[in-house]
Amino acid sequence: MDFDCDLRAARDDEAEAVSQLIVPALRESNARDYPSEVIERLAQIFSPAAVLDTMGKRKVFVAISGQRIVGTASLDGRVVHAVFVAPDVQRRGVGRRLMVEVERTARNAGMATLVVQSSVTAVPFYVRLGFKAVRDHHYGEEHTVIMEQPLAAI
Residue 79 CB neighbour total at 10 angstroms: 15
Which residue segments constitute the domains of the chain, with CATH numbers given?
A: 6-110 (3.40.630.30)
Q: How far apart are the first and last CA of the chain?
A: 27
Q: What is the mean pLDDT of residues 82-95?
A: 93
Task: Give 131's DSSP letter.
Answer: -
Residue 58 CB neighbour total at 10 angstroms: 18
Which residues lie across from 73 on neighbouring strands? Answer: 61
What is the C-alpha separation between 148 and 76, in angstroms, rounded?
A: 14
Residues 89-111: tens digit of each pLDDT: 999 999 999 999 999 999 999 99
pLDDT of residue 1 exceeding 60, the answer is no
* Band of residue 132 on the pLDDT scale cut at 50, 70, 90: very high
Residues 25-73: tens digit of each pLDDT: 999 988 888 888 888 888 989 999 999 999 999 999 999 999 999 999 9
Look up the pTM and report it. Answer: 0.91
Strands 6-9 and 59-65: antiparallel
